[in-house]
Amino acid sequence: MANAERWAAGMTLPAYAIDQTAIKVTDNGVEVVSEGHWRLFDREPED
């Protein structure tokens, strides 16, 4: 996850890091559809 944290630090939008997991993205949102490890790196608004 440390590598994913460094990767996400350069992102300007929210990003997911997943391991043995699947996500489904639709107009209605994001759904985790399997078991495994995942983390949402949500960018905080800058002042």
pTM for the whole structure:
0.49
**Residue 28 domain flag:** yes
Contact assessment for residue 18 and residue 37, using Cβ atoms and an 8 Å cutoff: yes
**Residue 31 domain flag:** yes
| Domain extent for 22 | 2-41
- The number of domains in the chain is 1
pLDDT tens digit string along 15-37? 888 877 787 889 998 887 877 77
**Residue 47 domain flag:** no
**Residue 27 domain flag:** yes
Handedness of CA 9, 11, 14, 18 (dihedral sign): negative
Task: Work out the pLDDT band at 47, boundaries 50, 70, 90.
Answer: low
**Residue 46 domain flag:** no
DSSP 8-state secondary structure symbol assigned to residue 7? H
Q: What is the pLDDT of residue 26?
A: 92
Average pLDDT, the chain: 81
Q: Which residue has the higher pLDDT, 19 or 47?
A: 19
Residue 42 confidence (pLDDT) above 60? yes
